[in-house]
């Protein structure tokens, strides 16, 4: 049986945070990320990096956390009651990027490791993660590139891995109360351990390393596109869906808040500006209507 190495996972995650922040800061060519290290009273801590009000990115947050405790929160034991009473460690990198230009999609990525330990029993561990894309004015070649890069990260690990985790992403990032997906999907996996530690850790790294090659070419193509006040207004309206999902459904947000995590870091995913309107719908035949009619429905992109 593979030996679990918490140290190796942590070192990888810290390096991933560095590499993603460096790539985004170089693309923005501004002041870069501000960093804040923090400690959790109940155990652990992390480092939060945020870039706000810059040239390309209205708000970009890239968070590393490693928290531990003597008892799991209800969100972790609801589906796994056998873990009640175990101590735990949870670590991960989570990021959300909200660009200024409505033609540049919002993106999210997360990779994480969780282990529940007991004095007299084997540890229970798993990896999770993925990335998903939320465009406002989608361009199909960008969506195809995103999914092609996601598939390439999965292919070395099995023929059905991309298809399975693409579907999981479509199902997970779905706003039931709106009957629509959050965006055009990507990858999502959780509770993954059946491959053994070494292979599963390699897969998590493959997904984490694929995020920048999936996202940055889209940013570079669309960041200088002209946009109207109407398009900016629609971007702010659609950001409301992002807020709704993160506060109502997202497992990471719920776990973080229930486990006494640092609220500022947990909620860094929320955009700086957002709008809601009462009972609004797009004009038929408009670019805004196309988003609803074609892109907010699960489908095969490649």
Looking up residue 262, the CATH number of its domain turns out to be 3.40.1500.10
Summarised one tens digit per residue, pLDDT across range 1-10 is 578 888 999 9
The pLDDT of residue 73 is 66
Residue 172 has pLDDT above 90, yes or no: yes
Active site members: 108
Could you list the residues known to form a binding site for substrate, using ranges: 94, 110-112, 260-262
Summarised one tens digit per residue, pLDDT across range 71-112 is 766 666 666 767 777 788 899 999 999 999 999 999 999 999
Tell me if 302 is assigned to some domain: no
Tell me if 66 is assigned to some domain: yes
Mean pLDDT score, 8-17: 97
Q: Sorting pLDDT into bands at 50, 70 and 90, what band is 120?
A: low
Mean pLDDT score, 187-194: 94
The span from the CA of 140 to the CA of 129, in Å, is 24
Tell me if 147 is assigned to some domain: yes
CA atoms in the 13 A half-sphere facing the CB of 99: 28
Give the mean pLDDT of the chain: 91
The pLDDT of residue 103 is 98
Tell me if 134 is assigned to some domain: yes
The pLDDT of residue 256 is 76
Q: Sorting pLDDT into bands at 50, 70 and 90, what band is 267?
A: confident
Could you list the residues known to form a binding site, using ranges: 94, 98, 108, 110-112, 147, 177, 260-262
Q: Sorting pLDDT into bands at 50, 70 and 90, what band is 18?
A: very high
How many domains does the chain divide into? 1
CA atoms in the 13 A half-sphere facing the CB of 133: 31
The span from the CA of 219 to the CA of 100, in Å, is 11
Q: Is 262 within 8 Å of 234 (Cβ atoms)?
A: no
Tell me if 300 is assigned to some domain: no
The span from the CA of 256 to the CA of 254, in Å, is 5
Tell me if 42 is assigned to some domain: yes
The pLDDT of residue 1 is 52
* Rg value, the chain, Cα: 19
Q: Sorting pLDDT into bands at 50, 70 and 90, what band is 187?
A: very high
Q: Is 101 within 8 Å of 227 (Cβ atoms)?
A: yes
Q: How far is CA 198 from CA 113, 129, 286, in A?
A: 13, 16, 49
Tell me if 301 is assigned to some domain: no
Q: Is 168 within 8 Å of 189 (Cβ atoms)?
A: yes
Q: DSSP of 152-197, one letter per residue?
A: HHHGGG-TTHHHHHHHHHHHHSEETTTTEESSSEEEEEEEE-TT-H
pTM, whole model, 2 decimals?
0.92
Tell me if 218 is assigned to some domain: yes
- Ramachandran angles phi, psi of 149, nearest 5°: -65, -40
Tell me the residue range of the domain where 96 lies.
3-295
Residue 32 has pLDDT above 80, yes or no: yes
Residue of 33 and 88 predicted with greater confidence? 33
Bridge partners of residue 98, in order along the sequence: 59
Could you list the residues known to form a binding site for a divalent metal cation, using ranges: 98, 108, 147, 177
């Amino acid at each position: 049986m593979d030996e679990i190495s918490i140290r190796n996972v942590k070192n990888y995650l810290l390096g991933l945070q560095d590499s993603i922040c460096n790539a985004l800061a170089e693309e923005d060519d501004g002041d870069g990320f501000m960093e804040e290290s923090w400690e959790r009273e109940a155990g652990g801590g992390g480092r939060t990096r945020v870039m706000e009000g810059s040239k390309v990115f209205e708000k970009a947050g890239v968070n590393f956390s490693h928290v531990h405790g003597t008892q799991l929160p209800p969100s972790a034991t609801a589906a796994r009651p056998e873990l009640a009473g175990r101590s735990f460690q949870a670590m991960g990198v989570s990021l959300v990027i909200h660009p200024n230009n409505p033609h540049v999609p919002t993106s999210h990525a997360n990779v994480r490791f969780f282990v529940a330990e007991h004095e007299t029993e084997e540890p229970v561990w798993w990896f999770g993660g993925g990335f998903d894309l939320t465009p406002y004015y989608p361009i199909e070649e960008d969506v195809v590139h995103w999914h092609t890069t996601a598939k390439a990260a999965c292919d070395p690990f099995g023929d059905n891995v991309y298809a399975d985790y693409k579907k999981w992403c479509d199902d997970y990032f779905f706003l039931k109360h709106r009957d629509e997906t959050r965006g055009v999907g990507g990858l999502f996996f959780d509770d993954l351990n059946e491959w053994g530690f070494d292979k599963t850790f390699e897969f998590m790294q493959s997904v984490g390393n694929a995020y920048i090659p999936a996202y940055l070419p889209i940013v570079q193509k669309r960041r200088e596109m002209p946009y109207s006040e109407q398009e900016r207004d629609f971007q702010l309206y659609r950001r409301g869906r992002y807020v709704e999902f993160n506060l109502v459904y997202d497992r990471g947000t719920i776990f973080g808040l229930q486990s006494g995590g640092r609220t500022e870091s947990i909620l860094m995913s929320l955009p700086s500006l957002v709008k809601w309107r009462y009972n609004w719908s797009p004009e038929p035949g408009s670019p805004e209507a196309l988003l609803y009619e074609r892109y907010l429905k699960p489908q095969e992109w490649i």
